Amino acid sequence: MKLKRLKAQHGEPMCWSDYLSLPFTQTVITETLRMGNIIIGVMRKAVKDIEIKGYLIPKGWCAFAYFRSVHLDENNYEWPYQFNPWRWQEKDMISNSIFTPFGGGQRLCPGLDLARLEASIFLHHFVTQFRWVAEEDTVVNFPTVRMKRRMPIWVKRREN
């Protein structure tokens, strides 16, 4: 809000560096991606025989890497089912192999920065220009964690 007011006083639009300079917004986006990624995983073809936890995956077979099995693992994250953007302020976990919402290595999503920017812009406008209240809902755990009523919210534009 402070950045928005400062930019408005000078008649300037917000730019790329402004959005990236909002560290807490970035931690909220990171935590959102950890808990509920757009894609649930990726298929990969084994280029050679490989053993994972005692299971043989023969050359040529396909394996599915399920991101949530990493992102919601208690061995990787304390209280993994709790939304906690502050966890990303403590250490640089974004660059390691336990946070993979955009893939990794040679197959890292080329739209990573654009996706984060779009999420930043959306959050900025959603928080600064609208009031919103979530209706009560219940969690359904099968086949994936989803809300029964799809987590409806009431949204109303803020009056200036």
Q: Distance (Å, rounded) from C-alpha 125 to C-alpha 52? A: 44
pLDDT surpasses 80 at 13: no
pLDDT digit string, tens, across residues 95-112: 677 888 888 888 888 998
Strands annotated E in the chain:
41-45, 50-52, 55-57, 62-66, 130-134, 139-140, 146-147, 153-157
Question: What's the average model confidence in pLDDT over 16-41?
Answer: 84
Q: Whole-structure pTM over 0.75, yes or no?
A: no
126 token code pair: 């959603």
Q: Identify residue 86 by its one-letter amino acid code.
A: W
Residue 109 annotated in ligand binding? yes
Greater pLDDT, 135 or 77: 77
Phi and psi at residue 10, in whole multiples of 5°? -95, 0
pLDDT band at 145 (very low <50, low <70, confident <90, very high): low
Parse the chain into domains and list their residue ranges: 2-130
The sign one gets for the Cα dihedral 30, 35, 36, 39 is positive
pLDDT digit string, tens, across residues 61-95: 999 988 888 899 999 999 999 999 999 987 666 66
61 CB-near residues (< 8 Å, 6+ apart): 45, 46
CA atoms within 13 A on the CB side of 7: 11
Q: What is the mean pLDDT of the chain?
A: 83
Please give the CATH topology (third level) of the domain spanning 2-130: Cytochrome p450 (1.10.630)
pLDDT surpasses 80 at 114: yes
